[in-house]
Amino acid sequence: MEELWKYLTMYLLSGFKFIFGPTLGVGYGVPLVFTALLTSFGMMTTVYVFTYFGHRLKGIVDRFKKKDRKIFSKKSRRFVKVWRKYGVKGIAFLTPVLLMPIGGAILANVLGGKRKKIIHWMWVSSLFWAFVLSTVVKYGWEAVSNFHLY
């Protein structure tokens, strides 16, 4: 039961913030490949939910949102610049490392990405970054823990 709890925690938190998956996986001692796959599945669950049901969720959120919010900011202009230059691929590539899975999925949908492309490129990005970050966290942690100043 304890193992199931570890895996479920990794999966669910990866859907919220991508780096939680590799960090928890290494901390729990989960094998690297399994850590990367659970991290990807967690992110992609969030991407599917916000890609297919985002319009319904938007209606609920709009009821509670402030009406006098700034539309254009430095941050939003940067995302539009990335979108115009790289499209769905650029947003998908940046989602695991700079954005949360929720933010990347919403941004790709709001800026007009097609569902099929969003899902495809988010899968590619999540698998790539899950393996890269899991490896970096695992072997980076081992290097740091074996380092001695004396």
Residue 33 lies in a domain: yes
Q: What is the mean pLDDT of the chain?
A: 85
**What are the structure tokens assigned to 103, written together?**
């933010």
Residue 150 lies in a domain: no
Q: Quote the domain boundaries for residue 7.
A: 2-145
> Burial, 56: exposed, middle or buried (Cβ in 10 Å; 0-12, 13-18, 19+)?
exposed
Residue 13 lies in a domain: yes
Phi then psi dihedrals of residue 61, to 5 deg: -65, -35
- Of residues 61 and 105, more confidently modeled: 105
Could you report the per-residue pLDDT of 35-89, keeping only the tens digit for each? 999 999 999 999 999 998 876 766 666 666 666 666 677 777 877 787 888 888 9
Could you report the per-residue pLDDT of 3-23, keeping only the tens digit for each? 899 999 999 999 999 999 999
**What are the structure tokens assigned to 30, written together?**
């989960």
Tell me the C-alpha to C-alpha distance, in Å, between residue 58 and each of 64, 90, 150.
10, 23, 56
> Within 10 Å of residue 98's Cβ, how many Cβ atoms?
14
Q: What is the pTM of this model?
A: 0.80
SS3 content of the chain, % helix, strand, coil (to 5): 80, 0, 20
DSSP 3-state assignment of 26?
Answer: helix
Residue 18 lies in a domain: yes
Domains held by the chain: number: 1
Tell me the C-alpha to C-alpha distance, in Å, between residue 90 and each of 81, 85, 149.
10, 8, 41
